[in-house]
Amino acid sequence: MEFAPLHQPTTSRPLADSTLGWMHPWHPLMGTQGRVRIRAHFTISDWLLMGGLLQSIIILLLPVRPLYSLLPTFGLAIYKVTRLFMKLGGVIENPLMDGVKIGRSSAVFPPSLVGEKGMIRPVGESVGGDGMCILLLSNRCNHPLGLFYSKFREMGQYAREMYAELEKNPLESGFLGYSDYNSNNTNTQPYAMSIMYFKSIEHVHKWAHNSPAHRAAWEWWDVEQKAGRVDHLTIAHEIYGVEKGKWENIYLNAKPYDFASTSHAIEDAGGKKVWICPAMDASKSLRTSGQRLGDVRG
């Protein structure tokens, strides 16, 4: 079976989108992940109250008529509505469509054989390739201060150091990539979950016990827990080992995310190591779940 990759290989491993989300030159909270967390830690009424207070302060402090002090608010609203209609009319591009592949795609472990037009999986092998391990890491802050609770901030720093370490040594740790999500069962301070992909359970256990960053976080938690200083913090992990031929996926009108956004090291036709995205064109083959779960037929 021949696969047609949707993205060209790269000589260096791209960072996961979730990692890029907190890698801001000034502060992690200024990245996309930080902005999402800030937004999730306040209710709509909190944001309305903060906006009302800010507008009141402007009215009280600026030496102008109240009508003029409202101009920035109305100006910003007009600007946003105008941009919305320009996107709807196709005058300006919709950034949400950046990287979106129209049609069907499926993510598989990249075959080791490279053909003239694509990648080849030999007859008899599993269509998806290898098995994998999925590690779910989740946390929540139950303290009234939420995002501003000091122990929650410390835990976040340890987590970022672990992710950074995984990004630096993916081949040794068997790390493939990860995506982040927030729960929707609470108005504020949701559970945050990282869906992490590894080559095997053995790789996860080896990383957990040998990683300097994870060991430091582990020891920090044990000390803080014994002292009763992290009772307001929830952390959890779940590990699932998935055999080859027992998993599949399909994406419609999507840019790579979840397993499709992982990175895999392969050798190109010239024997050079390159990194490739596992998203493959599924417009002709890989159309049914049975095809994606089965073996390559002759």
Residue boundaries of the structural domains of the chain: 2-14+99-293, 39-97
**pTM reported for the whole predicted model:** 0.90
What is the dihedral angle through the alpha carbons of 4, 8, 9, 13, rounded to the nearest 10 degrees? -120
What are the average pLDDT values for consecutive 10-residue runs of the chain, which has 298 residues?
A: 87 89 83 88 93 91 84 93 96 94 95 69 88 97 94 95 94 94 92 96 96 96 97 98 95 96 86 89 89 85
Output the pLDDT for position 113.
64
Q: Are 277 and 263 in contact (CB under 8 A)?
A: yes
Annotation: CATH topology of 2-14+99-293: Alpha-Beta Plaits (3.30.70)
In the prediction, which pLDDT does 115 show? 60
Residue 261: count other Cβ atoms within 10 Å of its Cβ: 21
Instruction: Identify which of 249, 126, 245, 130 has the alpha carbon closest to the alpha carbon of residue 179.
Output: 249
Q: CA of 139: how far to CAs of 102, 238, 256, in Å?
A: 34, 12, 25
